[in-house]
């Protein structure tokens, strides 16, 4: 199985996992920051929406580190594409294209809907794969176990519905 | 600069390992591939003892007391987790990979991010009404010095 990105072979899971752990630990040891990504959605919202929810002290203070971190994620993705075979905009969506076969408009609508659930859900849960799944589980936090089991479970059910029932 | 560099390294790893790849995400949820389970499992197994050591030391490299705020459990923890899982399956990317995919040039990821920001904005708007039924914590408006 290869990546959608230039059909590259994936990095070995142990190396990738160790790399993520290293980033997580350095972020804490040097920056005194807890790994988390989905709060970034609130950071971005706080730049435009004056709602009280987006004026929380803990949120405003975190923008200084999280926004550069998110910019780094974009840069990391770009570098990966560049050194992997060249950067180019693409609509390629792997098995979605092979099985669901929707055009760009359908993909955008589907992605927007998925994103909507991700944005609302992760904020309601207080974290996502990084904050709950990686850091929370490593820190032995019970809420993170509940949330992780929740999103892994509903993710599996949804994928089975899409690829085994609706388009199977 | 530290955070930009760490984010770049993290983004590169997510991109190359399949953690930001639609096909690998679906294969994970279909239990057809162990790649993602291996990545998350390894990350947790390596982070956990590292965290334990750091907490034992109790200070950052600069000598400041470690600040690790534990996450609170609310009904939103489970409800939100379930909603997130549905969205993750649909989009094939969780929050971090969303930004990575944009960097890679996957145009549809912009729609996912637009949806995520809309979803977060929506939560911010309805938060006061959800607070009591979902046992969510109160909003503390601040000056941004936190």
Dig out the tokens for A148 from the structure. 């992780």
**In this predicted model, what pLDDT tens digit does every residue of B62-73 receive, in sequence order?**
989 988 888 888
Report yes or no: B68 and B55 within 8 Å, Cβ to Cβ: yes
A101 to chain B, minimum CA–CA distance in Å? 14
Q: Which of B24, B30, B78 is opposite residue A160, by nearest beta carbon?
A: B30
Is the pLDDT score of B143 beyond 70? Answer: no
Distance (Å, whole) CA B103 – CA A77: 5
Distance (Å, whole) CA B96 – CA B109: 11
Q: What is the DSSP letter of B137?
A: P
**In this predicted model, what pLDDT tens digit does every residue of A89-124 receive, in sequence order?**
999 999 999 999 998 999 999 999 999 999 999 999
* CB of B135 less than 8 A from some CB of A: no
B98 to chain A, minimum CA–CA distance in Å? 9
ipTM of the complex: 0.94
- DSSP bridge pairs for A56: B141
Distance (Å, whole) CA B64 – CA B96: 28
From chain A, the residues in CB contact with B21 under 8 A are: 3-5, 10, 94
* CB of B71 less than 8 A from some CB of A: yes
**In this predicted model, what pLDDT tens digit does every residue of A142-158 receive, in sequence order?**
999 999 999 999 999 99
Element (H, E) at B16: helix B2-17
Q: Which of B3, B60, B102 is opposite residue A29, by nearest beta carbon?
A: B60
Whose CA is closest to A138, among A22, A15, A7? A22
How far, CA to CA in Å, does A36 sit from each of A33, A129, B32?
9, 8, 27
Report yes or no: B139 and A56 within 8 Å, Cβ to Cβ: yes
Using pLDDT thresholds of 50, 70 and 90, give the confidence band for residue B140: confident
pLDDT at A27: 92
Using pLDDT thresholds of 50, 70 and 90, give the confidence band for residue A13: very high
**In this predicted model, what pLDDT tens digit does every residue of B44-83 receive, in sequence order?**
999 999 999 999 998 899 989 988 888 888 889 999 999 9
């Amino acid at each position: 199985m290869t990546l959608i990105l230039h059909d590259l072979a994936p990095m070995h899971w142990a190396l990738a996992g160790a790399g993520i752990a290293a980033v997580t630990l350095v972020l804490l040891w040097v920056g005194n920051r807890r790994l988390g990504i989905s709060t970034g959605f609130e950071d971005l919202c706080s730049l435009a929406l004056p709602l009280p929810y987006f004026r929380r002290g803990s949120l405003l203070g975190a923008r200084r580190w999280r926004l550069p971190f998110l910019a780094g994620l974009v840069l990391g993705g770009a570098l990966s594409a560049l050194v992997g075979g060249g950067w180019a905009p693409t609509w390629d969506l792997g098995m979605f294209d092979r099985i669901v076969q929707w055009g760009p408009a359908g993909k955008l609508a589907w992605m927007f809907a998925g994103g909507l659930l991700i944005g609302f859900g992760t904020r309601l849960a207080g974290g996502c794969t990084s904050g709950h799944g990686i850091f929370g589980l490593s820190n032995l936090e019970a809420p993170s176990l509940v949330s992780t089991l929740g999103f892994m479970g509903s993710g599996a059910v949804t994928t089975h519905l899409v690829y085994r029932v609706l388009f199977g | 600069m530290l955070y930009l560099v760490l984010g770049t390294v993290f983004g590169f790893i997510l991109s190359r390992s399949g953690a930001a790849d639609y096909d690998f995400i679906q294969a994970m949820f279909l239990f057809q591939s162990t790649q993602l389970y291996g990545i998350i499992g390894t990350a947790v197994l390596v982070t956990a003892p590292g965290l334990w050591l750091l907490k034992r030391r109790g200070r950052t490299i600069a000598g400041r007391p470690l600040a690790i705020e534990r996450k609170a459990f609310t009904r939103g923890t489970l409800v939100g987790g379930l909603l997130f899982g549905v969205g993750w399956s649909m989009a094939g990317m969780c929050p971090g990979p969303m930004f990575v995919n944009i960097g890679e040039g996957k145009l549809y990821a912009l729609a996912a991010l637009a949806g995520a920001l809309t979803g977060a904005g929506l939560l911010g708007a309805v938060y006061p009404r959800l607070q009591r039924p979902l046992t969510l914590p109160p909003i503390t408006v601040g000056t941004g010095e936190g």
